[in-house]
Amino acid sequence: MAIEVAEGGIRSTPWRAQASHNQANVSKAFDSDPDTFWDSEAAQQPGMWYELDLGQTQTIERIKIESPGRGFAVGCTMSVSTDRTDWQVVDENPHNWKSIDASFTPRSVRYIKIEQTGSPSWGARWLISEVTVGLAHP
């Protein structure tokens, strides 16, 4: 999936990420190139996750997770945190059929975690081409 920075969005320069699968290519999800992507390199299954560290706490109100083709998470829960201990769910979709675009009440966030919760019948891998994080408007 790709990370896209909307107008007034956060620059991805200090970002770091980790994932349950294919740690080697996690940065492709925020390299500003929609033609490259992080690939789980395994069929989607519940419990897979991708976590993004924004490098510092920011007040945000939107997160977009772009996935090419049919590589979207077929079910997902998106949570945010300032400390990686206390997580708040900001979006949940047990039957997802598209890229994720979650808008929510502005809140302080440093960490974003997307957990894959579905099992596609077609054996698709999970792909993230770009992640976009939208800053809250003052």
pLDDT at 22 over 90: yes
Q: For 66-110, give the DSSP string.
A: E--TT-S-SSEEEEEESSSSS-EEEEEESS--S-EEEEEEEEEEE
Averaged pLDDT score across all residues of the chain = 90
Q: Is residue 126 part of a domain?
A: yes
pLDDT above 80 for 1: no
Which pLDDT does position 120 carry in this prediction? 85
What domain count does the chain have? 1
CA-CA-CA-CA torsion sign (108, 61, 103, 19): negative
Q: Residue 25: phi, psi to the nearest 5? A: -115, 20
Q: Does the predicted model carry a pTM greater than 0.85?
A: yes
Alpha carbons 40 and 38: distance in angstroms, whole number: 7
Residue 9 lies in a domain: no
Assigned domain for 103 exists: yes
92 lies in which domain range? 16-135
Q: How many CB atoms lie within 10 A of CB 133?
A: 25
Give me the pLDDT at residue 5, please: 41
Q: What is the mean pLDDT of residues 91-99?
A: 93
For 28-45, the pLDDT digits (tens) are 999 999 999 999 999 999
Residue 100 sits in a domain whose CATH number is: 2.60.120.260
The reply to whether 43 falls in a domain is yes
Share of the chain above pLDDT 90, in %: 80
Do the domain assignments include residue 5? no
* The predicted structure's pLDDT at residue 12: 62
Nearest CA to 5 out of 23, 32, 44, 40 is that of 32
